[in-house]
């Protein structure tokens, strides 16, 4: 999940709802690529 909000409750709820990762905007492209590669490797 990608969001402009980094609030702890939002992150927790997203993970509990099935999100594999949570990336807060603004983000760097390499961070998104690394996150997606990690999830794909699971």
Q: Which of 9-13, 16-20, 31-35, 37-41 has the lowest mean pLDDT?
A: 9-13
Strands (E), the chain: 2-3, 23-24
- For residue 10, what pLDDT is reported? 86
Q: Which two tokens stand for residue 18?
A: 């099935």
Tens of pLDDT, residue by residue over 5-30, are: 768 888 889 889 999 988 888 889 99
Query: Phi, psi at residue 23, to the nearest 5°?
Result: -115, 125
- For residue 18, what pLDDT is reported? 93
- For residue 23, what pLDDT is reported? 86
The Cα 41–Cα 34 span in angstroms is 11
Nearest to 2 by CA among 17, 13, 19: 19
Taking the whole predicted model, whether its pTM rises above 0.75 is answered as: no
């Amino acid at each position: 999940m990608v969001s402009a909000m980094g609030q702890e409750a939002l992150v927790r709820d997203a993970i509990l709802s099935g999100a594999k990762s949570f990336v807060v905007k603004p983000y760097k492209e390499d961070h998104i690529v690394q996150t997606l590669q990690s999830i794909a490797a699971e």
